[in-house]
Structure formats: C-alpha cells, structure tokens
Structure 1
Amino acid sequence: MTTSARHAVPTPATSAPAGRAQGRTPVHPVTFPRLVAAEWVKIRSLRSTWWALALAFVLFPLLAAMRSASVATIADDAPPGFFVGPAYVTSGVTLALLVLCGLGVVAVTGEYRTGQIRSTLAAAPTRLPALWAKLTVVVGLAFATAFVGTLAGWAAAAPWFDEIGMGVDLTDAEHVRLMIGVPLYLAAMTALAYAIGAVIRSSAAGITAVLGLVFVVEPAFAYIPWEPLQQLAGYLPTAAGARLVTSDSIGSIVTGSGATALGPWEGYLVLLGWVAAALVTAAVLLRRRDA
C-alpha cells in the first residue's frame, strides 16, 4: 500500500443544502381569515353557544304561533289592515335579543375567565385583529340565527294568516323592512353587547350592564315625565335601532312605542353609531391594558 493511500482523508458526506429546514413544520403567517377560522373553531366547541343559538331560534316560531293563534280569536272585531303579518312573525325578537346579547358578552368575557385570552392575543400580537375576528364570528352567528328564525316564525304563523286576514307581502316595502330588519337589529345589538363585554371583561357584570341598559335605563328615560329625557330616550341604542322593526300602524315590536322623530334607517344608523363608539372604546382599552 502506498503512503498516499494510507494517509488519504475520507471525503465528507454531502451536507443538506443551506437554508432548508429538516423535519420542521412550516410556519404560516397569521392572517385575518385564519384568525376568523380559529375563533369559529373555539366558539363552536362550546356547548353553551349552541344552547343559546337554539333557544334564540326556537323563540321565533314558538311565539309567532302563540301570538297568531291568540289574535285569531279576535280577528273578526279588528278593522281591515289592523294586523301586520311580519309583526307577528317576528314576535320572538325581544326574548331573542336577551339571549343573543348574553351570547355576545360571554363570547369575549369567557376567555378572560379561563385565561384563554392570553393564547388568543399571543396568536395576534397586535391584538386588534383578534378582537375583530371574534366579533365577525359572533355577529355572523347572531344574524344567521335571527334570519333563519324569522323564516321559521313565518312558517309557524302561516296557518292562521287566512283566519286573521294578514300575511307577509314581499312586494310591500314595510313588510320587507320588518323581515330583514329583525336580523340586522339583533346582529347590531349583539355587537354592542360584545363590545361592552370586551370593555368590562366580566361575564356577570357585562350581562348586568347590557340588560340594565336595555330593560331598565332606556325604559326609565322614556317614562320619566321630563321632556329632555324622553327626547334623549329615542336616541339610545335599543330604542333607536328598534325603529327599523317598527310598523307604521302598530308601533315598535321591541319597545312598544314608535314615538320618535327618527325614521327606520336613521334609527338604525344611530344604533350603529353606538356600536362603533363601544367597539372603539374596547379596542383602545385592549391595546392599553394587560390581558
């Protein structure tokens, strides 16, 4: 054996190309659609979500049928045009409002209670996309539930339409407004409740604040015998938004009174203004406070 052969240095194996990760899971960028998908997975995994949505849905056909059956007994004594079909079809809107607002609050406060908010914000370091992603899912569910519930209420009330002398006429602008207005109104109120929950961060306190606003503060303003307060009451969230679901002949489905200078869509814009203000407040506090 030659000297050169004895002292030959083995050639090293070819190394992997530089820059190529071996056995490493690729990291995808955090995008808004991915955040929405993650929020959808989280919220649908909660049994309470489906109970709340099911209850809100069932209220529409149940109360539509009950109310239509009850007025059928007095239909002969009512003048023509007295009964407005969509007002009876959407009879469940007030109780559905209670349920969906509760869902809106708990959707965000539940994460603070369990501490899951930390992992949520870790996935979205700028924080605000996480707030908007959850809002998108919650409001989308509220709108879809109210829309399908309104259709179910229509089907449930239909057997009494001929006896009562009413119906749902989709060529009538008021009827269309009432039918589509209910899911729009409930979606906006759910967004308002969500924003309040994001500000307060406590389920019990958030639900108390929302229900107190809707069922205590606003009615109190409307009935206190002082004109400035009564005028202001028409511009508070529930009353202003309820203009969208107010029949010209029978008043508001929600508040029982249509006495305000706001038109239907003007009132809804006022409600959206309240929602925007609450969401801006929630966003500012989310950026400034610790999780």
Structure 2
Amino acid sequence: MTTAATPTSPATAASRPRARTAVQPVTYSRLVAAEWVKIRSLRSTWWALALALAFFPLLAAMRSSSIAAIAADAPPNFFVGPAYVTSGVTLALLVVCGLGVVAVTAEYRTGQIRSTLAAAPTRLPALRAKLTVVTGLAFAVGLVGVLTGWAAAAPWFGTIGMSVDLTDPQHVRLMLGVPLYLAAMTALAFALGAIVRSSAAGIASVLGLVFVVEPAFAYIPFEPLQELAAYLPTAAGARLVTSDSLGSVVTGSGVTTLGPWGGFGVLLAWVAVLLVVASVLLRRRDV
C-alpha cells in the first residue's frame, strides 16, 4: 500500500524557523585575509613576483662571473659579497613599486572599491589591510631574492675571494636591508597610488621620482641640489643597501650625509607623510 505525500501549505512552510547565518564582525585580520584573497587571485601578481625574484639570481650570477676574470688584480677584501648577491634589487624595485601602485588603484578602475569600503565604512582599516598585504609580499620577495642571489653567486666566491659573512655587521645590513628597502619603497608607491587613484598616473609618478627626478638631482653638478638629493626617498633609503666601499647600485647620489639607518628613517618619514595624505583624501573623497 502506498502512502500519498501530504502537501505542505505555504503557511506551514512560512511558520518553520529558518537557520540564521551568523554575521561576523569586520575586524582588521579579516580585512587582511580578504585583501590577501584578492591579490593572490590575480595571475598578474604571481607573474610580477616571479619576475622580481628572477632578477636576483640572474644579476648576481652575471656580476659575479663578470668580475671573476679580474679578481686576481683587485686588492684583498675589495669585493663585498652581499653587494653582488643583491645586484637585482634595482630591477626588483621597479616591479614591486608597480605592484604597490596597482594594489590600490585597480579597485578604482573596476569599481570594486565601493564594495571594499562598504564592508569597512570607516575606510582607513581597509587601506591599512591593503598596505599590510602588499608590503608583506615585497618583504618576502626581497628576503627570498637575497637567498637565491646568494646561491647563484656562490660558485664564483672561491675564484673572486669574496663571501657573505653573517658575523660582519655591514654584510648583515646589506642582506637584511634589501627586503626592508623594497617593503618601504612599495609602501611609498602604494601611498602615491592611493593619492592619485590611477594606475597610469601612479606608476608614472613613482618611476618619474625614482628614475628621473632623483638621478637628475644627484648628477647635476650643483652642491645644494646634490645635498638635497640625499634626502629624497630613494637615495635616502638606498643608504641601507649601500656598500661602504663599492657604493650603491640603486642611486647615483654619492652624498653620505645620512648613515644607513638614518637614511632608512628618512624614507620611512616620506612614507608616513604620504600615507597620512592618502588617508585624509580617502576619508574626504566620494568614491
């Protein structure tokens, strides 16, 4: 014998309690997790990171092999290992600064920024979350980059007579300075991108500052301009990754008014000022 199913009336269905979806509060850690999902979901992010990483072993091997033939004529301890291991920092800087700009401007181009700010109505936590993710990536690129550069240059160490000595304060500063410098410069690029809200304008501003304006100040034979160039962000921060004997591969400024950590402090001051400007504009502007 079969039993016919009893139809459920609309009133009965409506009276049944429905499971409620718990709404989680917006916290900084959740915003960071959301920004991490956004940035890692883009193939362009991984291509950019791979390109930035590739510069370190490539340039380290090229520079180390090129000086192997003349190493016998050089004075003892002339070649500073970390200065060659970190040769790729300049080209990597170009890539991570572009990533820093796009990390904040891409959402303005697509309109996704409206959803982001709707989830974080006070706005500034969303900006800080984006900054945390992109600078963390830049720091990781710098750290892995110096390790791969070290491995790539190591085969020529015996021929050249150089090494990486982690008991030498200068060597430690150069090796650790690269990820710190890349992270700080990425934060600077991020702040400029947040101010202009345009990928093209942001990248042009960063590249113009780093590769046009600052070198022009450094190479013009006028002492006041050269002194001023030492306090511009790229030159000041590059003091952290400048060898005492070989100079800098990042900037043409030869002024040593600032010490390594003092120069890095000046760079962080530039970053702080630009982030304050970006924060104020984010609060005042309509999306």
**Which bracket does the TM-score occupy, shorter chain normalised?**
over 0.9
Residue of structure 2 equivalent to 1:4: none
CA distance in 2, matches of 1:82, 1:254: 20
Which structure 2 residues correspond to residues 174-253 of structure 1 after superposition, within 5 A?
174-253=170-249
* Structure with max Cα Rg: 1
Q: Which residue of 2 aligns with 1:154?
A: 150
What does the per-residue CA deviation read over 1:36-67, in whole Å, with 9 as the maximum and x for residues that have no partner?
00000000000110000000011101110011
Deviation digits for residues 168-195 of structure 1 (CA, Å, limit 9, x no counterpart): 0000000000000000000000000000
Answer whether contact 1:251 1:257 (CA < 8 A) is retained.
no
Look up the match of 2:49: 53
TM-score (norm 2): 0.93
Q: Distance in 2 between matches of 1:183 and 1:40?
A: 19
Q: Distance in 1 between matches of 2:81 and 2:254?
A: 17
Cα deviations by residue, 1:107-144 (Å, 9 ceiling, x for unpaired): 11100000000000001000000000000000000000
1:253: how far off?
2.5
Letter of the 2:119 counterpart: A
Q: After TM superposition, where is structure 1 displaced by more than 3 Å over at least 4 residues in a row?
A: none
The one-letter amino acid of 1:74's match is: I
TM-score (norm 1): 0.92
Letter in 1 for 2:116: T
Deviation per CA, 1:81-115: give whole Å up to 9, x if none. Answer: 11000000000000000000000000111000000
Indicate yes or no: 2:98 matched with 1:102: yes
Check whether the contact 1:109–1:202 (CA below 8 A) recurs between aligned residues: yes
Q: How large is the Cα RMSD of the aligned pairs?
A: 1.2
Q: Does the 8 A contact of 2:229 with 2:235 survive in 1?
A: yes
Three-state SS of the structure 2 residue aligned to 1:23 is coil
Q: 1:111 aligns with which of 107, 114, 120?
A: 107
1:223, distance to aligned residue in structure 2 (A)? 1.7
Q: Deviations along 1:133-169, whole A, 9 cap, x unmatched?
A: 0000000000001100110000000000000000000
Contact 1:246 1:258 in 2 (8 A): no
How far residue 22 of structure 1 moved from its aligned partner, in angstroms, is: 3.2
**SS at 1:247 equivalent:** coil
Report deviation, 1:227. Answer: 2.0
1:243/1:258 contact within 8 Å kept: no
Report the Cα distance in structure 1 between the residues aligned to 2:220 and 2:140, rounded to whole angstroms.
Answer: 36
Aligned-residue offset at 1:228:
1.6
Shift of 1:260: 2.3
Task: Report the Cα distance in structure 1 between the residues aligned to 2:96 and 2:32, rounded to whole angstroms.
Answer: 19
Q: Which residues in structure 2 correspond to 1:118-133 (within 5 Å)?
A: 118-133=114-129
Query: What percentage of aligned pairs have identical amino acids?
Result: 80
- TM superposition shift of 1:24: 1.8
- Counterpart of 2:72? 76
- Alpha carbons 2:241, 2:248 under 8 Å: kept: yes
- 1:257 to partner: Cα distance: 4.2
Q: Give the AA of the match of 2:177.
A: G
Contact persistence 1:30–1:124 (CA under 8 A): yes
Q: Counterparts of 1:179 and 1:210 in 2: how far apart (Å)?
A: 24
Whole-angstrom distance in 2 between the partners of 1:212 and 1:177: 28
1:251-270 aligned at under 5 Å gives the runs 251-270=247-266
One-letter code of the match for 2:51?
L
1: distance between equivalents of 2:178 and 2:254? 16
In the alignment, the residues of structure 2 paired with residue 257 and residue 90 of structure 1 have an alpha-carbon distance, to the nearest angstrom, of 18
Whole-angstrom distance in 2 between the partners of 1:88 and 1:224: 28
